Amino acid sequence: MEEEIDGNNVLAQALKQQGIEYVFGIVGIPVIELSMALQANGINYIGMRNEQAACYAAQAIGYLTGIPGACLVVSGPGLLHCTGGMANAQVNCWPLLVIGGSAPQDHEGIGGFQECNQVELSRPYCKYAARPPSVSLIPLHVEKAVRLTRVGRPGVAYLDFPGNLLQARVPSNTVPQQYVSNEVPVVYPDPRSIEQAVLLLMKAERPLVIVGKGSAYARAENEIRELISNTNLPFLATPMGKGVVPDNSPNSIAPARSLALLKADVVLLLGARLNWMLHFGRQPRYSSDVKIIQVDSYAEELNNSLKSAVAIQSDIKPAVRFIVDGLKKNNFRFDKNRNWWTTLNKKCEDNRKSVQATVMDTSPPLNYYTVFHHLQELLPENCLIVSEGANTMDIGRTMLLNNLPRHRLDAGTFGTMGVGPGFAIAAAFWCNKYEPNKRVICVEGDSAFGFSGMEIETMVRYKLPIIIVVVNNSGIYGGLDKETFEELQATDEATQSLPPTSLTFATRYENMMNLFGRTGHFCQTIPELQNAIKESLKVKDGPTIINVIISPTADRKAQTFNWLTESKL
């Protein structure tokens, strides 16, 4: 009798063949058997507590490895819960494959269980969305989906699997083996554009290099570090571009970010987009006559917000390599004694001094800066930092340093809250495989932690040694002191009196560890925080929670500009 195979195993084998190593998800009808088939075929399945968190974890492993993680969800609500994560990955340009179970085809149109038009609903959030029409064609669609997550601008693919397709059995010899497209084509720059970029940089009076997360994803750190060290050019990193060139490099002018953007006459943009995070490249955050050299592998991104002086379609590595060679050929090195460096260094020093007074204020209730300063002092070298929240994330970017690429994960371009625990779980699995001695530090605002806090159980279940630091100001942006909160809470119309930004005062998030027979840490002073960090670093078989209470009115230091460029319409 001819051997048969069902759709679950055809799909699992196709995913394995295409190099998928990690699947994060939540199972139920009709994908329970599929999750077991994945494990039987040697794929790591990680069960999560929320579909969004599963999707965040899958995309983070894709960013860290360059191979898409997969997210497995059930039909209807399961897939819909996942769309927030899909949109985040698509906007962040991270490779992600989402696999959704769906209602049996013979139940469509008559009110099937969790019936939902999932392919069309997914299409706005991904590059490719399809439902294989037969079991034998599953490998073809898996190959295409995985390939499209990686080529061009990385992004999301969705594959839809009705329950009857997964359960259907066909003769094994009718399922063709699908080829594997491991190589991602490299886009090389036009030599004439490189020449123009080199000439523009050499003539610049106030040059600036901006390093984006696209440079980190492209593994271009060696080329960009050579560019900075050979030329003495000042640089800024976007949040997840941190570490491509070490934050402690003398060429980093991060404390003078606003001034550098405002006064630069030539900006070399490497793997970053002129979106809201870089104020669109426009006035008043930039000079009216600034010249942008834009390097991006995606042609549609070139000249998107403004007309670049030089627009280079290229992968980052070859483009920077040719720019470095061109500058070397002309013996170019930007003098550290020039006025531009003098101005930037003075601004950096002034800003460091203004922060220092806040850092040294250790009196309770604590502030962000002193918490991050003392956290930085005790963190293991080159740990992976996951961060989210409003002030928690923004101030943390300036205080918690990265000296290696792809060692910071945060809310990213889409500004998504709730990503932290999922990202941290992915980072911990990455460490387990590639850097087993590294630690993952997940720094959360108390509001952000509330989105995905139950993923702490996932961390316990898989024994992931993640240190969660909740910087607790009892609110969104800011909260209320204890007396004011209790007074307003006690009124008959608390829904009218409690500010929309307030949360319960000093919630004891560390007590979540009690659910698992473990102990968390409650900190109101710097010695308590220091002890909590040291004790947490000793834990190697699961997560810890450090709940740090800070002033509800703690804020970032005053800035010349609002952090978000306002619309003028």
Q: What mean pLDDT, rounded, does the chain reach? A: 95
* 309 within 8 A of 281, measured Cβ to Cβ: no
Give pLDDT, residue 111: 87
Q: What is the percent of the chain with per-residue pLDDT over 70, rounded to a whole number?
A: 98
Residue length, the chain? Answer: 569
Q: Return the number of other C-beta atoms located less than 10 Å from residue 358's C-beta.
A: 16
219-259 residue pLDDT tens: 999 999 999 999 999 999 999 999 999 999 999 999 999 99
The sign of the dihedral angle between the CA atoms of 178, 153, 160, 123 is negative
| Cα 214 to Cα 47, 82, 94, 488, distances in angstroms | 29, 24, 10, 47
Give pLDDT, residue 1: 60
57-70 residue pLDDT tens: 999 999 999 999 99
pLDDT band at 562 (very low <50, low <70, confident <90, very high): low
pLDDT band at 558 (very low <50, low <70, confident <90, very high): low
pLDDT over 70 (residue 365): yes
Give pLDDT, residue 2: 77
Q: Retrieve residue 505's tokens.
A: 């005062």
311-346 residue pLDDT tens: 999 999 999 999 999 999 999 999 999 999 999 999
Q: Looking at residue 552, what DSSP letter applies?
A: T
Q: Return the number of other C-beta atoms located less than 10 Å from residue 437's C-beta.
A: 7
pLDDT over 80 (residue 383): yes
Give pLDDT, residue 408: 97
| Residues sharing a CB contact under 8 Å with residue 178, sequence separation 6 or more, in sequence order | 14, 17, 18, 139, 140, 142, 143
The whole-number average pLDDT for the span 44-73 is 98
414-461 residue pLDDT tens: 999 999 999 999 999 999 999 999 999 999 999 999 999 999 999 999
| Cα 196 to Cα 189, 297, 329, distances in angstroms | 12, 18, 14
Give pLDDT, residue 282: 95
CB contact burial 52-87 (16+ within 10 A = b; e otherwise): bbbbbbbbbbbbbbbbbbbbbbbbbebbbbbbbbbb
* 154 within 8 A of 160, measured Cβ to Cβ: no
Give pLDDT, residue 104: 87
CA angle 412, 413, 417 (to 5 degrees): 55
Taking Cα atoms as reference points, which of 64, 51, 331 lies closest to residue 213? 64
466-491 residue pLDDT tens: 999 999 999 999 999 999 999 999 99
